[in-house]
Chain A
């Protein structure tokens, strides 16, 4: 069974940092692009960042560009999200998800399946 599990969330003050992790199992992790998607309280999902299968290419939403960094370690079946200069508006549940698309790998597009259960990030003074 394909499975993702996030960790690393918590409560942090504005301006602080957190590092999220996501470990995958049950599928060929090294073949697929991966993304982080967040969902603020009462809101729809928002794509945050994506990374290609080999980590050579990355992309970010404008709202986090310059503050967040995505990376991956295929030997550990894991992706990471380093979040710096956190703001109150970054408060959300953060999900990792695999990117899928027709005709090859993708990391800035496609649909998302599966998703992890999410990890809560709260930025508050």
Chain B
């Protein structure tokens, strides 16, 4: 199975900050990488699919990019509702696997 390593595992940030989360795959995954946001007590919510395509209804301050085995999620101008845990997921091979998560907390 493909392993996904997210960094950092947690971070603290202020409203208005830019946040960058990285997901590194154990092998090449050719942009078959997707990002989810999970607030406490809720199900994960799709933010970005295929590394850089914004899901309908997701604010444009979220963006994704890929380079080799590294994929990044960027949140520009962090908002109060963005404090949550973020997960990456690969679909290059079966079974689909998830990263360990990055918890974004308020400074």
Residue A125 interfacial (CB < 8 Å): no
Residue B24 interfacial (CB < 8 Å): no
Q: How far is the CA of A116 from the CA of B42 in the complex (A)?
A: 9
Instruction: Tell me which residues from 35 to 59 in chain B have a Cβ below 8 Å from any Cβ of chain A.
Output: 36, 42-46, 49-50, 55
In the complex, what residues of B have CB within 8 A of residue A117's CB? 42-43
In the complex, what residues of B have CB within 8 A of residue A111's CB? 34, 46, 49-50, 89, 91
Selecting from A70-78, A80-88, A100-108, the interface stretch reads A100-108
B97 touches A47 (CB 8 A): yes
- Report, as a range, how many residues of chain A touch the other chain: 20 to 34
- Report, as a range, how many residues of chain B touch the other chain: 20 to 34
Q: Of B32, B96, B99, which one neighbours A47 at CB under 8 angstroms?
A: B96
Q: How far is the CA of A59 from the CA of B95 in the complex (A)?
A: 9
A108 touches B89 (CB 8 A): no
A115 touches B45 (CB 8 A): yes
Q: Interface of B with A (CB < 8 Å)?
A: 32, 34, 36, 42-46, 49-50, 55, 87, 89, 91-101
A44 touches B87 (CB 8 A): yes
B96 touches A116 (CB 8 A): no
B98 touches A44 (CB 8 A): yes
Q: How far is the CA of A101 from the CA of B89 in the complex (A)?
A: 13
B97 touches A112 (CB 8 A): no
Q: How far is the CA of A113 from the CA of B44 in the complex (A)?
A: 9
Knowing A47-B95, A47-B96, the reply to whether A113 touches B89 (Cβ < 8 A) is: no
Please give 16 more A-B residue pairs, beta carbons under 8 A apart, in addition to A45-B87, A112-B89.
Answer: A44-B99, A45-B36, A47-B95, A61-B95, A108-B96, A109-B91, A109-B92, A109-B94, A109-B96, A111-B46, A112-B36, A112-B44, A112-B46, A113-B49, A115-B44, A115-B45
In the complex, what residues of A have CB within 8 A of residue B99's CB? 44
